[in-house]
Structure 1
Amino acid sequence: MSDRKNIKPTSRELMEFHVEALFTHDQNMRLRTINEPWPGEDPAPRFFLGRTIEGTAFCRFRYDVPEMLARQLEELCADEPIISDFQTKPKHFEAYMNLLQSERFTMGPCYLIPEEIMPTMQVVSITRDNMKEFLYDGFEWLISEIEYVQPCIALVHESRVVSICRSVRVTSRAHEAGLETLDGFRGKGYAAATVAGWAMAVRKMECVPLYSTLWENFASQRVARKLGLSFYGVNFTVI
């Protein structure tokens, strides 16, 4: 077992893993594009703020944010308090929005999937070799992505895939979970089992499994609570 697997990252380190998984960066650590594993390059947001439960906060800026504006935002970021409630907006929310002259933002909780979490139901790995056996009746759209979103773990109920968790943001250090569960099969524990199975597969690759969502996505938050995920902070972006 490698040393990296033995050392638990701090909340600050997890937030760094998170932003590096979400977005591509240039040599100056400026944001470039959304780090989607499949082909395509959508632009990153202009501003990212990560607040953690340890009280550390840091921000990153897109490559086209002027240096003077970036410095102003950075000073405000340094004054952000410890985060305990993921629904609490940043202390300097209004200032961020005004300085960036924007009305569009995203925010949501960020979690680490602990090593002790195990799937409570049987799950299967979906690959290019077996995808046609499983990806029908609701998950046909995943066929074009399957090579890019490994590992991809599914829960099969009565010969039908009803929930899938796959890697939708990938770096050499961390993977971010992308979870999809069919309507009619939610609230039964299927999603939680799928996420747990995915996390095991990611750890076998010696990477950190991360789970994040939006503050208004209550279904995704219920999965996090059911699994007992480790809350480490809140992300905030301005488009």
Structure 2
Amino acid sequence: MDEIKPTAYDLMEFHVEALFTHDRNMRLHTINEPWPGEAPAPRFFLGRTVEGTAICRFRHDVPEKLIEQLKELCADEPAVTDFRTKPKHFEAYMNLLQGERFTMGPCYLVPGDVAPSLQVVGITRENMTEYLRGGFEWLASEIDYTQPCIALVRDNRAVSVCRSVRITSRAHEAGLETLDGFRGKGYAAAVVAGWAASVREAGRLPLYSTSWDNLASQSVARKLGLLFYGVNFTVT
């Protein structure tokens, strides 16, 4: 997988494929969560890349006429350099869709040479009772669905965990959680690095995305030198 060197456009395509289920017409249906239960996908997804290319996807119930209008605007989006910058046609998207809420945030690829700076362990059904206590008990019900799941352990309990929360045959998206009392110690960066290595071992690409206002998550991306390839934007 490493030898292919995907473009920013490829990575954005892998990203949207991982986030949502699609039908044959590439219309969105549900959020692609690996555990049971299906929440509806947003009505509109826009992925702007650092190369100046953009991907747009629409939920299956968005009218064709509206889709054509939105596609024209998407094609006019410039390359993104700052993930805090809203899309050029932000107001038009919100007005046309009569949008109530939007999300936006940077998207990264975890490079192949990233390695954990601290010792981490894989959490599975076999060892979860040993580690998932004192804060991560809730993870037990999802453990079979979110592999690989990598944790940093202190006093024989998991205090920081990174796991696959969106999964396809080409890429996994990271889900990162660190207990309150253990933040700011470099633990999150270590588990992301360990998770990414496991994902690559399985022949998939490790993707990491967050929201524009999640400073802690962006700090992890900076520490690890993650490769910024674009910004996602959705309207519900």
Task: Compute the TM-score of the two structures, normalised by the length of structure 2.
Answer: 0.99
Deviation at 1:92, TM superposition (A): 0.1
Structure 2 gaps, min length 5: none
Distance 1:6 1:58 in 2: 24
Residue 117 of structure 1 is matched in structure 2 by 114
The residue identity in structure 1 corresponding to 2:152 is: L
CA deviation digits over 1:50-91, x for unaligned, max 9? 000000012000000000100100000000001000000000
Number of equivalenced pairs: 236
Distance 1:172 1:124 in 2: 24
Residue 135 of structure 1 is matched in structure 2 by 132
CA deviation digits over 1:91-122, x for unaligned, max 9? 00000000000130000000000001000000
1:164 equivalent among 147, 161, 165: 161
Residue 235 of structure 1 is matched in structure 2 by 232
Residue 198 of structure 1 is matched in structure 2 by 195
Residue 22 of structure 1 is matched in structure 2 by 19
2:54 equivalent among 52, 57, 71: 57
Distance 2:223 2:108 in 1: 13
Structure 1 position 85 matched with structure 2 position 82: yes
Distance 2:170 2:14 in 1: 7
Residue 70 of structure 2 is matched in structure 1 by 73
- Is the CA contact (8 Å cut-off) linking 2:104 and 2:212 kept in structure 1? yes
Deviation at 1:5, TM superposition (A): 3.2
Determine helix, strand or coil for the equivalent of 1:116.
coil
What percentage of residue pairs aligned between the two structures are identical?
76
Residue 218 of structure 1 is matched in structure 2 by 215
Structure 1 position 179 matched with structure 2 position 179: no
Deviation at 1:158, TM superposition (A): 2.6
Task: Compute the TM-score of the two structures, normalised by the length of structure 1.
Answer: 0.98
- Is the CA contact (8 Å cut-off) linking 2:2 and 2:112 kept in structure 1? no
CA deviation digits over 1:8-33, x for unaligned, max 9? 11000000000000000001000000
Deviation at 1:126, TM superposition (A): 0.3
Residue 101 of structure 1 is matched in structure 2 by 98
Deviation at 1:125, TM superposition (A): 0.3
Residue 6 of structure 1 is matched in structure 2 by 3
Determine helix, strand or coil for the equivalent of 1:111.
strand
Deviation at 1:160, TM superposition (A): 2.1
Distance 2:150 2:114 in 1: 15
Deviation at 1:206, TM superposition (A): 0.3
CA deviation digits over 1:114-160, x for unaligned, max 9? 00100000000000111001101000000000000000000012322
Determine helix, strand or coil for the equivalent of 1:184.
helix
Distance 2:81 2:100 in 1: 25
**What is the CA RMSD across the aligned residues, in angstroms?**
0.6
Distance 1:228 1:79 in 2: 30
Determine helix, strand or coil for the equivalent of 1:149.
coil
Structure 1 gaps, min length 5: none
